Amino acid sequence: MYGIIAFFRRYYFSLLFIVLEIISLGFVFTNNYYHEAGYFNSSNRVAGAVYSSYSGFTSYFNLQNVNHQLADENTQLLNLASQIKDTAIHKKILITNPFGQLYHFIPAEVIDNSTNLPNNYLTLHAGSEDGVGEGMGIISPLGIVGIVVKASAHYSVVMSLLHQKTLVSAMFKKSGTFGTLAWGDNKDYRFATLNQIPMSEKVKPGDTIVTSGFSNTFPKGIMVGTVDNFKAIPELYFYTIRIKLSTDFKNLRYVYVVCDIEKIEKEALEKDAQNSLNDKTK
């Protein structure tokens, strides 16, 4: 017994060091935003407040760019709205894709953003009280941005497309051939890589890439970017294509959270079913 106490007295500094390292590395290696109820991320009140007051100061610097983006988008939407009126198909402003998914969009302000880290995140000033939930896609007027990984009441953290773990299903607008989009080894905020495009596809630089809509995170047909260059991997019969992203990640100010209405409905239903099952077993 005395030996143990003496041991701890002698090595407490090293032991404390080891304990703290195990705690931190435990955070690093088990960190999975979808399952961990971690408080230590920028969606908490302190970080959110610091970022939103800071972004209040700096928002003036890129206003001109942002205004242009919003004006362009308004023009597009007005054109779209006039088409809808002409054909009188839709009574409500919702986007439908061939699978019958319905989406609605929540506006959000970007209060923090980075583009130069190996894993980039955005912090939005919109949270679960505004309807933002984990797993929802984020788009900007110019194209896709990322996926929500954590939402608190008033803030949310978004895993940017510029993140090693972000994967998005994307396709050629002209042919519908789809593959997986990842930031991968680009380390450049302007480019990403589209993988698994079969060599039967006739790829040309400048071809438009849009989201495929397979994962319900993004509606079908949201702009991703254009083909910059490509190289063939003959043994796999695939192309690896470098995509010039359409989203200007350095000038993100206002974005939209994509809400898949049916997904929410489905989840609510599953929860209900679970609850009623639990009630019956009681």
Partner 1 sequence: MIEAGKNILRFSFFILLQVTIIRHLDAGIYFNPFLFIGAILMLPLRANKTLVLIIAFATGLIIDMFYNTMGMNAAACTFMAFCRPWALKVYAPAGDYNADASATVNSMGVRWMISYASTLIFIHHFILFYLEAFSFHDFFSTFLKIILSGITTLILFLITQSLFFRN
Question: Which residue(s) pair with 14 in the sheet?
Answer: none
Q: Among residues 6, 7, 8, 25, which is the contact residue for partner 1, using CB under 8 A?
A: 25
- Binding of partner 1 by 11 (CB under 8 A): no
- Binding of partner 1 by 16 (CB under 8 A): yes
Euclidean distance between CA atoms 61 and 203, whole angstroms: 39
Binding track over 71-110 against partner 1, x by CB under 8 A: ----------------------------------------
Widest Cα–Cα separation across the chain:
89
Q: Among residues 86, 185, 235, 279, which is the contact residue for partner 1, using CB under 8 A?
A: 185
Residues 39, 48: contact at Cβ < 8 Å?
A: no
Smallest gap from Cβ 22 to partner 1, in A, equals 9
Euclidean distance between CA atoms 234 and 216, whole angstroms: 32
Smallest gap from Cβ 148 to partner 1, in A, equals 13
Smallest gap from Cβ 15 to partner 1, in A, equals 10
Residues 221, 246: contact at Cβ < 8 Å?
A: no
Euclidean distance between CA atoms 180 and 184, whole angstroms: 11
Residue 143 gets the label, from left (phi > 0), alpha (psi -120 to 50) or beta, of: left
Residue 5 gets the label, from left (phi > 0), alpha (psi -120 to 50) or beta, of: alpha
119-138 binders of partner 1 (CB under 8 A): 119, 121
Residue with smaller CB distance to partner 1, 4 or 28: 28
Q: Among residues 7, 8, 26, 77, which is the contact residue for partner 1, using CB under 8 A?
A: 26
Closest CA to 166 of 261, 33, 267, 41: 33
Which amino acid is present at 17?
F
- Binding of partner 1 by 37 (CB under 8 A): no
Which two tokens mark 156? Answer: 């949310």
188-247 binders of partner 1 (CB under 8 A): 188
- Binding of partner 1 by 115 (CB under 8 A): yes
Q: Which residues bind partner 1 (CB under 8 A)?
A: 12-14, 16-17, 20-21, 23-28, 31, 38, 40-42, 44, 46-47, 50-51, 54, 58, 114-119, 121, 157, 164, 185, 187-188, 250
